[in-house]
Amino acid sequence: MKTRAESPAVVYTLLALGLSYFAVFMLLPLVVIFVSAFKNGVGPYVAALLNPDARSAIWLTLLVSAVAVPLNLVFGVAASWAITKFDFWGKNLLITLIDLPVSVSPVISGMVFVLLFGAQGLIGPWLAEHHLKLIFAVPGIILATMFVTFPYVAREVIPVMKAQGSDEEEAALTLGASGWQTFWRITLPKIKWGLLYGVILCNARAMGEFGAVSVVSGHIRGRTNTLPLHVEILYNEYDFVGAFAAASVLAFLALVTLVIKTVIESRSPELQSNRLKKH
């Protein structure tokens, strides 16, 4: 370490510069959320969260992630199994396609569902005939969230499954274990940290998605408002304490996510060394 060290003056200057930038651009936004939420004390804060609209927004947010995350979890495991255990034509194309939603702007992610299911959409008229309402309703919100969070579990589990290899599975199968037995008893315990890692990142994005959900929700109060949309409505009505109170719940969830993420990284070193490729 000694030969790699700069002079103390350089070290302290770099530390001061880097940490001040971090404090102003990362820490301050976090602090301002909680300070603004409690600006008028605890009473108005609690009242803002117990408000029926806020409560229904919290419920809808929980519902959306309770549907989207497990579905993307099952997909992520299936995709990882197919990609790491078999050789087939077009594998690289498949990996690229799985990552596709990450590169799509949130507004466009929501818009494609309006083009598909909306009144002027591809199958909109058919849906209207059968009295099915997907857009400006809860199913549209769930679909847009599934699109946005689609790759999150897969892109965490694929590298983990690949890194761990298939020797144990091969042994089990050769000794006569069935495919499902091998999966439940050997593969799943091996990938559990990677899986959990993907799930918490997927969940954070599912609960916090704003742009895509904003396009498909129709902003119907108490019906199609998720927590991030609730924040926007209150903010635009100049109810700052209410907006920041709702925002503080989401910020708290983000902090919990980061804590769990850090704990998992310290338990599973391969996740830490892999984490660059995934964002």
Partner 1 sequence: MNKNRLFPGFGLSLGYTCAYLGLIVLIPLGTLIWKSSSLSWREYLDVVTSVRTLAAFRLSFLTAFVSALVNTVFGFLIAWILARYAFPGKRIVDALIDLPFALPTAVAGIALTAIYASTGWIGQHLHKFGIEVAFTPLGIVLALNFIGLPFVVRSVEPVLQELESEVEEAAASLGAGRWEIFRRIIFPAVIPSLIAGFTLAFARGIGEYGSVVFISGNMPMQTEIAPLLIMTKLEQFDYAGATAIALTMLIVSFSLFFMINVLQARSSRRLGMEA
User: Does residue 85 belong to the site contacting partner 1 (CB under 8 A)?
Assistant: yes
- Nearest approach in angstroms of CB 42 to partner 1 is 20
- Nearest approach in angstroms of CB 174 to partner 1 is 8
Residue 187 has φ and ψ, to the nearest 5°, of -65, -50
Token output for 227: 């927590």
Site for partner 1 in 151-190 (CB under 8 A): 166, 169-170, 173-174, 178-179, 182-183
Stretch that binds partner 1, among 49-57, 86-94, 157-165, 188-196 (CB under 8 A): 86-94
- Nearest approach in angstroms of CB 228 to partner 1 is 4
Triad 218, 219, 221: Cα angle to 5°:
135
User: Does residue 7 belong to the site contacting partner 1 (CB under 8 A)?
Assistant: yes
- Nearest approach in angstroms of CB 147 to partner 1 is 6
User: Does residue 50 belong to the site contacting partner 1 (CB under 8 A)?
Assistant: no
Residue 130 has φ and ψ, to the nearest 5°, of -95, 15
User: Does residue 197 belong to the site contacting partner 1 (CB under 8 A)?
Assistant: no
User: Does residue 275 belong to the site contacting partner 1 (CB under 8 A)?
Assistant: yes
Token output for 57: 């927004």
Stretch that binds partner 1, among 21-29, 43-51, 126-134, 189-197 (CB under 8 A): 21-29
Query: Are the beta carbons of 245 and 48 closer than 8 angstroms?
Result: yes
Query: Are the beta carbons of 250 and 265 closer than 8 angstroms?
Result: no
Token output for 140: 């549209």
Residue 60 has φ and ψ, to the nearest 5°, of -65, -40
User: Does residue 254 belong to the site contacting partner 1 (CB under 8 A)?
Assistant: yes
The nearer residue to partner 1, 47 or 102, going by C-beta atoms, is 102
C-beta neighbour count of 257 within 10 angstroms: 17
Token output for 1: 């370490």
Query: Are the beta carbons of 205 and 250 closer than 8 angstroms?
Result: no
Identified binder of partner 1 from the candidate list 57, 60, 111, 127, rule CB under 8 A: 111
- Nearest approach in angstroms of CB 277 to partner 1 is 7
User: Does residue 86 belong to the site contacting partner 1 (CB under 8 A)?
Assistant: yes
Helix, strand, coil % over all residues of the chain, rounded to 5 = 80, 0, 20
Identified binder of partner 1 from the candidate list 107, 132, 188, 220, rule CB under 8 A: 107
The one-letter amino acid at 44: P
- Nearest approach in angstroms of CB 6 to partner 1 is 6
User: Does residue 49 belong to the site contacting partner 1 (CB under 8 A)?
Assistant: no
User: Does residue 150 belong to the site contacting partner 1 (CB under 8 A)?
Assistant: yes
